[in-house]
Structure 1
Amino acid sequence: MSDLVDSALTARFLRGLAVAPAGTAVRVGARSVRYAELHELALRWAGALHAAPGGPPRAVGVLTDRTLEGYAGVLAALYAGATVVPLHAGFPLERTRHMLRTARVDAVVADGPGLATLRQLAHAGLRLPVLAPEGGDHGTLPAIPVTGRPLDTPVRVRDTDAAYVLFTSGSTGRPKGVLITHGMTRHYFTLADRHYDFGADDAFSQTFDLNFDCAMFDMFCAWGAGAGLHPVPAQAYRDLPGFFAERSLTVWFSAPSAITLARRTGGLAPGGMPTLRWSLFAGEALRAADAVAWQDAAPGSTVANIYGPTELTLTVTGHRWSPQTSPDLCVNGLVPIGTVHEGHDHLLLTPDGRFSDHEGELCVTGPQMTPGYLDPQDNEQRFLRHDGRTWYRTGDRVRALAGGELVYLGRWDSQVQVNGWRVELAEIEFALAGCPGVRDAVAVTRTTDGTVEIAVYYTGEPVPAARLAKQLAELLPKGMLPRRYTHLTEIPLNSNRKIDRRRLAEDAAEQPRTTRPN
């Protein structure tokens, strides 16, 4: 049919394959996988998916860590023309089950930990066909054998088809599925090619798990240039300059919290990261002091603060740090998020429903905006109709600066950024209130040594913090677990008879730093 096109994402890998067939596409640990090798593996797995007993899957879950199975699984699902649904084996079982069902996943690619999760789900009644590496313990799971003929070429798609689905935190106690189309990714990566000069000689970090949208930036910017992708193991943070030197890393992308971690481990010595050409940060507010420290450590690097919720495809604004001009643009010590991408419009919405030229909630419309959540009920209050168009309400309060740049001021609602994770505090409150003995619950954040932490206050029966932490770990990802639990006889209210969140946040800020209960 005339509207079928090459997937923008697979086309990027094929471009890298043409540029550097013998080059490293991804290095996992000590193993380097060449472009030609990964391409052949993805075609073979895509052929297996197409020959699955139930027919070609419409949505393929990738339940892996940053392993070869994960990267090959993402590529194979795209080659097969399916929607990719990246998942995390470390998430609570019920959360993973919800995401699999909501996204209507009908086949899964899994590594070892992913297989273990699928076996647990099978015992609970959810059995999905799984493609796993040779030697993996399928147990009683229906296996998709990697036999038969590989696909000759990737399946063509429509720009309106879903390329992938990612899940964000939801205020109802369940994650929300965000649909990202092939057309949205086409627009994004076309702009990325204009904004960055990535080439086959570059070596990219990958700090984000595959279920985090920024991981798509690393993969497909690297692969579109014929560059190598290097997942960063946890132990590398003990000596980031050493890791950079070993891998000749030229492109770094992470949440700003990595700067704090590097500082704690002595990794921000001036000039200590000489190989870097690009240093990109997203996922939470970037402090000017951190940008300066990183720039000093990587003097040959362009430091950029890029911003965008999942619903707007990876990032939708960007600001390049300039020691000469950027400091004067910072507000409350935060680096500007920059100007909105070409092809997009934005509005600033005030709490009373009017529009402002100066400050308000950022609303964006354009080709990177999601058509909506998988569950239509989640669309309520997240989209705005104005001037005959639909706009996504980010929930972020921004200020417009001279020249069109925007600076982030904070959240309008209770959604926050914690170590790069976008978190609805209401979801944590919902989960905590469901624990035995807890009546009411309030979650706030505090900043300790440059790191955002979650503290919770609750009424009802006093419950040991370790017990609450254990119960929440069965419902929430690790990155969303509170650091401090405080029992109150009653939740404080302000003069308007609303929960006095400011008072609780101030109390949390005054408490000494703690470690998460075991």
Structure 2
Amino acid sequence: MNEPTNEPEPGDGSWVDELLLHTADDTAPAVHIGERMDRAALRREVDARRKGLADAGLRPGGAVAFQLPPSLALLAGVLAAWRTGAQVILLDHRLTVHETDRALHRIAPQLVVRPTGPVRRGSLRGFHAVDAAAEPYPRGRPATTGHALVQLSSGSTGPSKVIGRTAGELVAEVHRYTRIEGMPRAGDRVVVLNSLIHAMGLMAGVLHSLHAGVEIVLPERMTAEGILGAAAARTAPTVIMGVPFHAQLLGSVSSPPPLPHLVRAVSAGELVRPGVAEAFAARYGAPLGEVYGMTETGVIAADLSGAARPATGRPAPGIDVKVVDGELLVRRPTSPYIGPTDPARWSDGWLRTRDAAELDPDTGLLTILGRLDSQVSVGGLKVDLTEVEWALSELPGVREAVVVHDGAIEAYAVLDEGVTAGAVETLLAERVAGFKLPRRIRVLPALPRTTTGKPLRDPAALRAAVPERA
């Protein structure tokens, strides 16, 4: 299929059929989520979900939020909403009630799709068999922008950003992935370990795979045994797609089963630490490639060969980048943010990534060196330390607080008399998702500060300020 030159109109969902669901072979495998489903069966599932959303009142130009665990209901529901011509808003199913309420208040969709029954928390399930229902959201409204996809940059509270992408941008990124050497092709399988609502899992794992005719596989269990079992289930060329944690997990298996059809693994979400790629390749005889990108832009650069460390690759086709004062900037004609745009983040057609990078002027190779701002990755999930700090500082009994990342998320707080760190941790757990919680809260009599009065954020200085018995 040739890459379309025109942006799909808001409310026009025909791009889903043309890009994702069209196929010359209805019997080709499409997804394996508990059971295998061919392309024709997936279309029927999407049709059924589309009718259910229409019965709930969704129309072209409407807005619907999905808060579902990884499941067929999530995948088919999102496709169904897009086919309707509606705006899709994706919320992490692990958010607390407080975080969810804050997010919904900000985006005010017409409908919210949630499981009809309880979802097991803390399990290692790769997918869930859930029934889903769409319910009206009080004071909800149709889409106020022409974006097909709306995501929150890091959870749903405090300073998190609301990011929008048009259907045309999604289509362009799918085609961009098809031009990256080493991506799965028609007849291949991809075992997707990434979150289906975040950039890599959604765009590379789901949308590119549907477009390219690649079978999407979710393992029953997110254990080494479960992942390897999913990879070994069939003889088609197979790619494992996840985050560095998954590569570390699989690389630590002492005697893995033979996987002659494993082509490669692909990691995204954070940089792979030294030794992980080498250990993975030694165990499985397949390379560990890396993809670098952002929610705001999608894929920026990729090297799926696994040949270069640290993460080095050419900018993805159609991506224009530059490095200014050591920071990577990506060209974006319009702001990706819905609502007021911080000119310190996007201005004059350039988005600041807050990532350190080097760009070789002779070869065009881009090397990513790490984060420059407060956003960190925990198990491949983005956590904004400022957001956690904001939530902690808002709690009763907390005078002030600083949150840093020092191998793990750590918090330092000044508390009112009689308030304990344990009590604060309990309150924070009600407001912040588990993967964002600090490993511990250390109590200080006062925060160390710079000469200008700003709190110090150097982990060593903060540790030194902790009383000996704290």
Could you state the TM-score of these two structures normalised by the residue count of structure 1?
0.75
Match among 92, 96, 100 for residue 88 of structure 1: 92
The residue number in structure 2 matching 1:384 is: 347
Q: Is contact 1:87-1:210 (8 Å) kept? A: no
The residue number in structure 2 matching 1:363 is: 329
Match among 417, 422, 428 for residue 472 of structure 1: 428
The residue number in structure 2 matching 1:180 is: 165
How much does 1:268 deviate? 6.0
Q: Is contact 1:13-1:223 (8 Å) kept? A: yes
The residue number in structure 1 matching 2:409 is: 454
Distance in structure 1 (CA, Å) of the matches to 2:194 and 2:220? 11
Say if 2:96 is the partner of 1:98: no
Unaligned runs of 5+ in 1: 117-132, 144-159, 351-359, 448-452, 511-518
Distance in structure 2 (CA, Å) of the matches to 1:214 and 1:282? 7
How much does 1:179 deviate? 0.4
Q: Deviations over 1:197-240 (max 9, x none)?
A: 53342221221233222221201122112222122344433554
Distance in structure 1 (CA, Å) of the matches to 2:335 and 2:15? 18
Say if 2:277 is the partner of 1:291: yes
Match among 331, 347, 359 for residue 400 of structure 1: 359
Between 239-248 and 92-101, the greater mean CA deviation after superposition: 239-248
How much does 1:170 deviate? 7.9
Distance in structure 2 (CA, Å) of the matches to 1:38 and 1:231? 15
Distance 1:501 1:403, change over 3 A: same
How much does 1:456 deviate? 0.8
Say what the alpha-carbon RMSD is for the aligned residues.
Answer: 3.4
How much does 1:410 deviate? 2.6
Q: Is contact 2:328-2:357 (8 Å) kept? A: yes
How much does 1:137 deviate? 8.1
How much does 1:80 deviate? 0.7
How much does 1:13 deviate? 2.3
Unaligned runs of 5+ in 2: 1-5, 121-128, 138-144
Match among 376, 379, 382 for residue 419 of structure 1: 379
Distance 1:69 1:320, change over 3 A: closer
Distance in structure 2 (CA, Å) of the matches to 1:103 and 1:437? 30
Structure 2 counterpart of 1:373, one-letter code: Y
Residue 216 of structure 2: SS of its match in structure 1?
strand
The residue number in structure 2 matching 1:282 is: 268
Match among 227, 250, 274 for residue 262 of structure 1: 250
Could you state the TM-score of these two structures normalised by the residue count of structure 2?
0.83
Residue 223 of structure 1: SS of its match in structure 2?
helix
Distance in structure 2 (CA, Å) of the matches to 1:270 and 1:134? 32
Q: Is contact 2:82-2:148 (8 Å) kept? A: yes
The residue number in structure 1 matching 2:320 is: 345
Distance in structure 2 (CA, Å) of the matches to 1:285 and 1:398? 12
How much does 1:114 deviate? 7.9
The residue number in structure 1 matching 2:456 is: 500
Structure 2 counterpart of 1:32, one-letter code: R
Residue 223 of structure 2: SS of its match in structure 1?
helix
Distance in structure 2 (CA, Å) of the matches to 1:2 and 1:493? 51
Distance 1:200 1:52, change over 3 A: same
How much does 1:424 deviate? 1.6
Q: Is contact 2:92-2:197 (8 Å) kept? A: yes
Say if 2:68 is the partner of 1:64: yes
Between 70-79 and 396-405, the greater mean CA deviation after superposition: 396-405
How much does 1:75 deviate? 1.1
Q: Percent identity, aligned pairs only?
A: 28
Distance in structure 2 (CA, Å) of the matches to 1:476 and 1:134? 24
Q: Is contact 1:273-1:297 (8 Å) kept? A: no
Structure 2 counterpart of 1:229, one-letter code: I
Distance in structure 2 (CA, Å) of the matches to 1:363 and 1:440? 33
Q: Is contact 2:287-2:305 (8 Å) kept? A: yes
Distance 1:162 1:135, change over 3 A: closer
Distance 1:3 1:427, change over 3 A: closer
Distance 1:495 1:98, change over 3 A: closer
How much does 1:284 deviate? 0.6
Match among 167, 172, 191 for residue 152 of structure 2: 167
Aligned residues: 439
Q: Is contact 1:25-1:229 (8 Å) kept? A: yes
How much does 1:397 deviate? 1.3
Distance in structure 2 (CA, Å) of the matches to 1:304 and 1:505? 37
The residue number in structure 1 matching 2:292 is: 307
Structure 1 counterpart of 2:434, one-letter code: K
Distance in structure 1 (CA, Å) of the matches to 2:423 and 2:18? 49
Distance 1:108 1:20, change over 3 A: farther
Distance 1:54 1:344, change over 3 A: closer
The residue number in structure 1 matching 2:338 is: 374
Match among 31, 38, 60 for residue 26 of structure 1: 31
Residue 373 of structure 1: SS of its match in structure 2?
coil
The residue number in structure 2 matching 1:253 is: 241
The residue number in structure 2 matching 1:490 is: 446
Structure 2 counterpart of 1:318, one-letter code: A
The residue number in structure 2 matching 1:157 is: none
Q: Is contact 2:290-2:306 (8 Å) kept? A: no
How much does 1:9 deviate? 4.4
Match among 19, 22, 40 for residue 12 of structure 1: 19
Match among 215, 224, 229 for residue 201 of structure 2: 215
How much does 1:93 deviate? 1.6
Distance in structure 2 (CA, Å) of the matches to 1:23 and 1:464? 59
Structure 1 counterpart of 2:380, one-letter code: G
Q: Is contact 1:27-1:33 (8 Å) kept? A: yes
Say if 2:184 is the partner of 1:225: no
Structure 1 counterpart of 2:80, one-letter code: A
Distance in structure 2 (CA, Å) of the matches to 1:202 and 1:226? 8
The residue number in structure 1 matching 2:111 is: 107
The residue number in structure 2 matching 1:357 is: none
Q: Is contact 1:456-1:482 (8 Å) kept? A: yes
How much does 1:286 deviate? 1.5
Distance 1:50 1:135, change over 3 A: closer
Distance 1:187 1:391, change over 3 A: same
